[in-house]
Amino acid sequence: MTFAVLCLFVFIIAFVIAAMMGGIDVGVPAFGGGEVAVIPVHGEITLGGCASGLFFSEACADVETVKEQLKAADDDSQVSAIVLDIYSGGGNVVASREMMRAVRKTKKPVVAWIGEIGASGAYYVASAADRIVADEDSITGSIGVLMPVTQYYELMDWLGVNVTVIKAGESKDIASPYRPMTGEEKNELESLVNKVYDSFINDVASNRNLSRDYVRNVSKGKIYLGSEAVELGLVDELGGIDTAIEVAGKLGGIQGEPGVKRPERKASLADLLN
């Protein structure tokens, strides 16, 4: 071994030891490579998949798809952080909670970006992220629970249509459209809705490190612009998708401008015909 090669070898060993001891910043991201995975949460949040036909595919945020994309990003050595690109007014309670739990379980840093709208169940999902970024005019909040009950018994009376319901179990036809709802039945349904509402508030309070009383006070189903949500502590900062990617990159330990990785979009028949 020549003297020059020996010196090079000693230098490399010293460099590695210094880097391991924190003396030299070698620019290695804390969680993986130099990329941020951007995962869309667009449309209604659902457990049942998205409605589709021969020439169209309805935009929705299917829980299983988003969970698979989160896991893929978590397992990808080139990805250091994740951005949820949210454009959704929410969805069913169970679907929204399932997606929220998936975000909460993700090992790598997650930043939620609220675009035009990220309200109700979509805000539920965003609350589990490490940071939330929203445009100043984004619509968010709407922390509440809704149970619409449609009744058309008066119309049926006017049409001369009679429906006789045979049931076993006093509450079996609760919220029936064929008759007025009793006071006891309304109280029973309100009790169910309030229990779900309490769970919603508790999870948001835990995710955002806020008190339950505070979240209950600022929620009440109200919607807020992004600028208002920042003041209330429901959003961390204002900005566009680029800001969210930059924040995610910093949380993931990426130095400089991060690369962006997006899931491949499946082409529909309409795309192929265009």
Number of domains the chain contains: 1
Q: Which residues of 139-166 are buried (b: 16+ CB within 10 A; e: fewer)?
A: bbbbbbbeeeeeeeeeeeeeeeeeeeee
Q: Are strands 60-62 and 110-119 parallel, antiparallel or unpaired?
A: unpaired
Please state, in angstroms and rounded to a whole number, the distance separating the CA atoms of residues 40 and 268.
17
- Element housing 223 (H / E): strand 223-225
The pLDDT-based confidence of 271 (bands split at 50, 70, 90) is: very low
**Domain extent for 194:** 30-273
Instruction: Identify whether 247 is part of a domain.
Output: yes
| Residue 19 placed within a domain | no
Domain membership of residue 4 (yes or no) is no
Rounded mean pLDDT, 186-193: 87
Q: Which residue has the tokens 């119309």?
A: 155
- What CATH number is attached to the domain comprising 236? 3.90.226.10
Spatial CA neighbour of 127 closest among 94, 97, 161? 97
| Structure tokens belonging to residue 22 | 């924190």
Whole-prediction pTM: 0.80
Catalytic entry in 105, 107, 167, 172: 172
- pLDDT in the model for residue 160: 83
121 domain-assigned = yes
pLDDT in tens, 91-148: 999 999 999 999 999 999 999 999 999 999 999 999 999 999 999 999 999 998 888 8
Q: Look up residue 165 and give its two tokens.
A: 């319901």
Locate 79 and state its tokens.
Answer: 């990805």
The token duo for 260 is 């962006």
Active site residue 172: yes
The Cα 204–Cα 216 span in angstroms is 10
Residue 65, domain member (yes or no): yes
Asked if the model's pLDDT at residue 26 lies above 60, the reply is no
Residue 35 lies in a domain: yes
- Which tokens belong to 269? 């028949």
**Residue 219 annotated among the catalytic residues of the structure:** no
Report CA torsion sign: 218, 219, 223, 229. Answer: positive
- What are the pLDDT digits (tens) for 201-259? 999 999 999 999 999 999 888 999 999 999 999 999 999 999 999 999 999 999 888 99
Decide: 192 and 149 in contact? Cβ < 8 Å.
Answer: no
- The answer to which of 12-16, 24-28, 103-107, 183-187 has the lowest mean pLDDT is 24-28
Distance of CA 105 to the CA centre of its chain: 12
Q: Per the residue annotation, which of 80, 88, 96, 120 is the catalytic one?
A: 120
Query: Is 257 a member of any domain?
Result: yes
Instruction: Establish if 20 belongs to a structural domain.
Output: no
